[in-house]
């Protein structure tokens, strides 16, 4: 487990002036990774690190050989079109590269003259998925979301008996994960309108978003070997924002007995930036459950995990529509929640996933599931906000929604804040619904 070190010093500033503006969210204490190129170009994508409103081109930096030891090896792994090679090296290499970059980007660094020509403005960049994602598993770790949804379908028994014992998950579709997506409205079968009638086929009428975080696996494990709970952090490269879009009417008809399929496989949108677990170290918090709740089984519990297994990550969902963008309205705030309210934490997800020896691989992605909070305005989906479509929400410019319409855009942002420490931002995940094919 990483501990606080010199890269977390709140007093550090950068020679990149925009990094010292707290509204930016990418200070020298953050240093998140992405894969980028010049917008609209046919250049090769390459890894970069955010500092203020700029990107350090790591592939170009590697040609200068500015570092040595593990930091040099880690930097040399950043010359391909993904972060998989870096992820595979392990936490010691990630930490060495973070330290070297931190020192190079601090005020007074002797490397400023070498690195400054390699900066690329974020406003001129476009991004791709930061890793080649071989496998994607989505979990269901918010008891508040599970309860809210359960009440709509089983008001007398909203939580199934296994929920408080098992981190519920399913295997999703990796190929349709992307950044800044524009995707056609899904189509599929929905349940018959009345008994004796045929199922209906057509565009989804109950399209929803899901406020989630994604967990990128770094070093994996050999098949047949578990990852113990207190070693799980060593296998996690970092976190991103995730929106796992859901076609609720298609899902309701198809999910029994094997779970969702067409209702989930059409698009899942992530943020381009991965905030490393080391950058999040100052925002660890105790993993606790309310009085009377069962404690996890021994393989999912430890003193260390209870003391600091959760993370204080604030998340927000915003929305624009075709009409609001035409009128240049600001995005509408829909809800906000916090990752610390989850019923399970990310180390537990890694351990549970590998308990039978399932081999995780560098670049694999685990989704948290919808992260709703305990209050109504902390709902992580429009299904919850509108109580299953029964209570429309009214947007500031007058439009109403029960579910998403064509042209709607969902923006999810996340950040970490604490007194006396720079704001650590995740960037944003943005996706727009297009008409059905």
Binding-site residues for Ca(2+), in ranges, read 138, 210, 212, 244
323 has pLDDT over 80: yes
pLDDT at 3: 86
Q: Is 145 tagged catalytic?
A: yes
Average pLDDT value for residue range 112-123: 98
pLDDT at 117: 98
2 confidence band (pLDDT: 50, 70, 90): low
Q: If you ran DSSP here, which 8-state letter would residue 264 be given?
A: T
Average pLDDT value for residue range 221-236: 98
Cβ-contact 44, 57 below 8 angstroms: no
Q: For the chain, what percent of residues have pLDDT higher than 90?
A: 97
- Which residues have CB under 8 Å from 177's CB, separation 6+? 129, 133, 136, 268, 269, 270, 365
129: left (phi over 0), alpha (psi -120 to 50) or beta: beta
Q: For the chain, what percent of residues have pLDDT higher than 70?
A: 100
102 has pLDDT over 80: yes
177 has pLDDT over 70: yes
Binding-site residues for substrate, in ranges, read 140, 154, 251, 255, 370
80 has pLDDT over 90: yes
Using DSSP's 3-state secondary structure scheme, residue 182 falls into: strand
Binding-site residues, in ranges, read 138, 140, 154, 210, 212, 244, 251, 255, 264, 268, 370
Each residue of 325-379: pLDDT tens digit?
A: 999 999 999 999 999 999 999 999 999 999 999 999 999 999 999 999 999 999 9
Mean pLDDT of the chain, nearest integer: 98
Q: Which of 341, 274, 278, 336 is nearest to 310 (CA)?
A: 341
Catalytic residue, chosen from 145, 235, 352, 353, is 145
Domains (range + CATH), the chain? 6-127 (2.30.30.230), 136-434 (3.90.850.10)
The distance of Cα 147 from the centroid of its chain, to the nearest Å, equals: 22
Neighbours of 437 (CB within 10 A): 9
Name the residue with tokens 């650590």: 424
Average pLDDT value for residue range 94-98: 99
pLDDT at 153: 83
Average pLDDT value for residue range 141-168: 95
> pTM here?
0.97
Cβ-contact 412, 334 below 8 angstroms: no
What count of Cα atoms within 13 Å lies in the side-chain half-sphere of residue 312?
13
Long-range pairs of 116-121 with CB within 8 A, sequence gap ≥ 24 = 116/15, 118/56, 118/57, 118/60, 118/61, 119/16, 119/51, 119/54, 119/55, 119/56, 119/57, 120/36, 120/38, 120/48, 120/54, 120/55, 120/56, 120/57, 121/53, 121/54, 121/55
Average pLDDT value for residue range 165-183: 97
- Which residues have CB under 8 Å from 310's CB, separation 6+? 284, 285, 286, 287, 288, 339, 340, 342, 345
Average pLDDT value for residue range 318-330: 99
Please state the φ and ψ torsions of residue 23, each to the nearest 5 degrees: -75, -15
pLDDT at 216: 99
Q: Which of 2, 354, 364 is nearest to 217 (CA)?
A: 364
pLDDT at 110: 98
d(CA 170, CA 148): 20
Binding-site residues for Mg(2+), in ranges, read 244, 264, 268
């Amino acid at each position: 487990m990483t501990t606080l070190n010199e890269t977390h010093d709140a007093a550090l500033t950068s020679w990149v002036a925009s990094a010292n503006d707290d509204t930016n969210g990418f200070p020298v204490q953050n240093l998140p990774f992405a894969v980028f190129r010049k917008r609209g170009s046919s250049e090769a994508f390459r890894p970069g690190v955010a500092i203020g409103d700029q990107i350090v081109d790591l592939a170009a930096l590697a040609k200068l050989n500015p570092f040595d030891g593990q930091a040099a090896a880690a930097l040399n792994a950043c010359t391909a079109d993904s972060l998989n090679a870096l992820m595979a090296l392990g936490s010691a290499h990630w930490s060495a590269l973070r330290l070297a970059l931190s020192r190079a980007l601090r005020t007074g660094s002797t490397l400023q003259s070498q690195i400054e020509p390699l900066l690329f403005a974020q406003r001129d960049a476009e991004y791709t998925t930061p890793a080649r994602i071989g496998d994607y598993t989505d979990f269901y770790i918010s008891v508040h979301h599970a309860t809210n949804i359960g009440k709509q379908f089983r008001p007398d028994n909203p939580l199934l008996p296994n929920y408080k014992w098992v981190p519920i998950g399913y295997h999703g579709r990796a190929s349709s994960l992307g950044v800044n997506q524009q995707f056609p409205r899904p189509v599929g079968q929905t349940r018959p309108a009345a008994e004796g009638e045929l199922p209906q086929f057509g565009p989804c009428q109950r399209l929803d978003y899901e406020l989630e975080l994604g967990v990128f696996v770094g070093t994996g494990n050999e098949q047949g070997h578990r990852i113990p709970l207190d070693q799980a952090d060593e296998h996690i490269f970092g976190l991103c924002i995730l929106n796992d879009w859901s076609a609720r009417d298609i899902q309701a008809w198809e999910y029994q007995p094997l779970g969702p399929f067409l209702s989930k496989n059409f698009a899942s949108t992530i943020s381009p930036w991965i905030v490393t677990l080391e950058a999040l170290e100052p925002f660890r918090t105790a993993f606790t459950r309310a009085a009377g709740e069962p404690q996890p089984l021994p393989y999912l519990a430890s003193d260390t995990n209870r003391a600091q297994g959760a993370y204080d990550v604030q998340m927000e969902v915003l929305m624009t529509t075709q009409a609001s963008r035409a009128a240049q309205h600001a995005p509408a705030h829909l809800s906000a929640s916090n990752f610390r309210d989850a019923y399970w934490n990310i180390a537990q997800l890694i351990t549970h996933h590998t308990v039978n020896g399932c081999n995780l691989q560098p670049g694999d992605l685990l989704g948290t599931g919808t992260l709703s909070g305990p209050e109504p305005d902390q709902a992580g989906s429009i299904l919850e906000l509108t109580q299953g479509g029964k209570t429309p929400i009214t947007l500031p410019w007058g439009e109403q929604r029960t579910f998403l319409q064509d042209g709607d855009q969902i923006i999810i942002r996340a950040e970490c804040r604490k007194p006396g420490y720079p704001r650590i931002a995740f960037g944003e995940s943005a996706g727009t619904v297009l008409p059905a094919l």
